[in-house]
A and B are shown apart, each in its own frame.
Chain A
Amino acid sequence: MKSQGLMIAITFVFALIIIIDAFFAIDFISAASTEIQNWGTIIASLALALAAVNLIRIHSRRIRLRRGEWYNSVALLTVMFVQTAIGLVNRSTGEVYNFGFNNIMTPLGATMYALLAFWIASAAYRAFTARSIDSAILLVAATVVMLGNAPIGESIWSAFPSIKTWIMDVPNMAAQRGIMIGGGIGAIALGLRILMGIERGHLGGSDE
C-alpha cells in the first residue's frame, strides 16, 4: 500500500501515544509508549547498517570501475569489514576491537575536530572586522571569552576571567534562553505540521 495517508496515520498514532504518556498517567498508554520507544531503537539500529550498505555499494562500484583513487575505497572497505568482523565476534568491549577503536578511530576523530581550529582561525580573521555594531559586539565578546579562557588572558589583565564568567552567565544565558524558547516553539510547530500531514518530506514529498 503506497498510501501516504496510512503512513501519516502511523506517524500520528506513534507520536500521539508518546505525547499522551508525557501528560497523563495511563498504565496501558505508558506501557505502549515504552514499547514503541524500544521499537524506535530497533528500527534505528537497523538504519545504522543502512549507511554501511550504502558505503559498500558506492565503494565497491568505484573499485569495479577502477574510478578515481579506487585504492582508497579498497582501504575503506577492508578496514570496515575487518573491524566489523572483529566487533561481531569480539564485541565492542573486546581487547582486539578496542585496539582499532583507541588507536585509529579516537585519535583520527580528535584530529578531525582539531583541524577545525585552522578553519575557525581563518573564519575569525574574516569575521573579526568591526564593520558594524553587530560584528563589533561579536568581536569584543569572543575576544574577552578567549582571553578569559586562556592563562595568557589572566596574565594581561586579572579581570578577564571574571568578565568572561559574567558574559557566559548573564547575556549569553539570556540569549540562549530566548533562542531555546523560540526554537522550542518552532520545533513544536514543525511537529504539529508533520502530525497533520502538512510536512511530508520524509514520505517522499507531497506530489507522490
Chain B
Amino acid sequence: MIGTWLAAIGTLGLMSFAIKENPFYRFVEHVYVGIGAAHSVVMGWESLQTKAFTPIAESGDYIKLIPLLVGLLLYARFFKGKIWLSRYPMSILVGIGVGLTIKGTIGAQIVNQIRATLVPLTSINNIIIVLGVLSVLMFFYFTRKNTNALFNTSSRIGRYIMMIAFGALFGNAVMGRMSLMIGRVQFLLGEWLGLLG
C-alpha cells in the first residue's frame, strides 16, 4: 500500500514535466538520482565482495589486492596535484576495454555479419540484403572523394536503405515508449486508483 502510493506520487511528479518543469518534478528527479546512485554503490560493493574480498579472505588470493589498490587511485582526482595518479586505473580500464572491443568486434560485428550476408542470390529478399549491405558500406567510404557515377549511385542507394532502417528504428522506439507510457497509466488507474476492472 505505502509502496504503491510512493510509486504513484513519484510517477505523477515525473509526468508533471509534460506540462512544464516544476518544483515537484525536480524533487522527484533528485530522489530518483539519489536512489539510482545508491543502487550503483550497492551493486559495486557486492561485485567487490564476489570478485575481491571473498577470494582474498577464503582462498588467500592476495593478487586481488593489486586491482583494489589501483582502483582506489581513481579517488586521487579529488586531491589537487595528484590527479595524474587516477590515470593509471583509467589506462588499465581502457586497455581491457580496447582488448575486449577488438576481440568482440572482429567476431560478432565483422566476421559473423559478413558470413550472414553471404547468402545465395536466389530470392529477391536475398538480393536486396546483399546489395543493401554493399551499398551501405559504399556510403561509409570516406577515404577519398569519388567521382565514379556507379559508386555514387550505390552510395545514394545505401543512404536510402539506411533511411528505411532509421525510420523502422524510430517507429519501434515510439511504440516502445508508448507501451511504457500505457504501463504507467495502467498502474495509476488500476493498481493505485483501482479504476480498471
Taking beta carbons and an 8 Å cutoff, which residues of A are in contact with B? 2, 7-8, 10-19, 21-22, 33, 35-53, 55, 57, 69, 72-73, 75-84, 87-88, 91-92, 97, 99-105, 107-118, 120-121, 124, 127, 133-135, 137-146, 149-150, 166-185, 187-188, 191-192, 194-195, 202-204
The CA of A190 and the CA of B105, in the complex, are separated in Å by 12
- Cβ contact within 8 Å between B78 and A103: no
Chain B contacts for A72, CB-based, 8 A: 26-27, 29-30
Interface string of B125-150 (1 = CB under 8 A from A): 10011111111110110000000000
Residues of B in contact, count (CB < 8 Å): 116
Q: What residue of chain A has the Cβ atom nearest to residue B125's Cβ?
A: A170
Q: How far is the CB of A95 from chain B (nearest CB, A)?
A: 11
Residues of A contacting B: mostly: helix
- Cβ contact within 8 Å between B92 and A145: no
Given A11-B98, A47-B74, A141-B168, 18 more pairs with CB closer than 8 A? A14-B99, A15-B99, A16-B99, A37-B100, A40-B96, A41-B51, A42-B64, A42-B67, A52-B41, A69-B23, A76-B30, A104-B32, A107-B10, A117-B178, A141-B163, A146-B175, A177-B116, A187-B102
Chain B contacts for A101, CB-based, 8 A: 35, 39
- Cβ contact within 8 Å between A76 and B33: yes
Interchain residue pairs with CB less than 8 A apart (26): A7-B87, A8-B91, A10-B88, A11-B92, A15-B102, A39-B92, A43-B93, A48-B40, A51-B37, A55-B37, A69-B26, A76-B30, A81-B38, A101-B35, A105-B35, A110-B183, A115-B15, A117-B174, A143-B171, A145-B170, A146-B175, A177-B113, A177-B136, A184-B110, A202-B91, A203-B90
- Cβ contact within 8 Å between B175 and A149: yes
- Cβ contact within 8 Å between B166 and A18: no
- Cβ contact within 8 Å between B45 and A88: yes
Q: What residue of chain A has the Cβ atom nearest to residue B66's Cβ?
A: A39
- State which of B44, B128, B158 has its C-beta within 8 Å of the C-beta of A46: B44
Question: Are A22 and B103 also in contact (CB < 8 A) when A40-B96, A105-B32, A178-B132 are?
Answer: yes
**B121 on the interface (CB 8 Å rule)?**
no
